[in-house]
Amino acid sequence: MIEIKTLATGSTGNCYWITDGITPLLLECGISFKNIQKALNFKTSDIAGVLVTHEHKDHCKAVSEVADRGLNIYLSPGTKEAIGINHHRIKVVENKKQFKLGTWTILPFDVQHDVSEPFGFLLANEAGDKLLFATDTYYVRYKFQGLTHIMVEANYSTEILNENIMTGRVHDGMKRRLVKSHFSLENVLEFLKVNDLSKVQEIHLLHLSDTNSDEAVFKKVVQEQTGKLVYVP
């Protein structure tokens, strides 16, 4: 039984707490450790580790703080180099090489973003649950079998973005960056279409843009296509 709690999501900071009832983890640490503590009612001593996808501050702001508090942080070699912090709690993990954290078996995989070496993570526990975490990517090249939980970025809608550019609300240059760095609703729908959703219990849509998304529409469209329970934190 996987439980997911969003502590923060979006361009101002990303941090998610997950547990399978035995081993709690943090996905990202893009908010201060003080805010992480508050959100978890100061129950942080049992967290087994922190997975960080890439070096943008809204995902890794608290790396130094978290490491100083005794939590191990797992990230790619490229992300470690880009962050530039040396600490014995920062652990490098390799693309497509599994590692264990408590009851979780974790597989990092490469994603597409405008940074050094970004990762997504596939997490499987001993009860047979499988959680996919993919954020800040415009494309996921892999297909996954037997997923039970999906946490995926749905940053913008192409339709809303184009409308905002036409009205001058968003600069045209923003579109060029978004299409090569973030997951659009349209690409999320394609991704879900080609993957095995037969065991999926929940889909969490993350990191929605403040200006180029519509929470109600995104939730409705994904629910209609998949027939699954959809959360937009």
pLDDT of residue 100: 98
| b/e map 108-131, b = 16+ CB within 10 Å | bbbbbbebebbbbbbbbbeeebbb
What is the block-wise mean pLDDT of the chain (233 residues), using blocks of 10 residues?
96 96 98 97 96 95 96 97 96 98 98 89 97 92 96 92 84 75 92 96 95 94 98 96
> What CATH number does residue 40 fall under?
3.60.15.10
pLDDT of residue 220: 98
Residues 6+ apart with CB under 8 A from 8: 14, 15, 30, 31, 35, 39
Range of the domain at 119: 3-231
How confident is the model over 61-99, as pLDDT tens digits? 999 999 999 999 999 999 999 999 999 999 999 999 999
Domains: count for the chain: 1
Instruction: Report residue 180 as tokens.
Output: 């090569």
Which ranges of the chain does DSSP label H, i.e. alpha helix? 33-39, 57-60, 63-68, 77-83, 158-166, 172-178, 185-194, 215-226
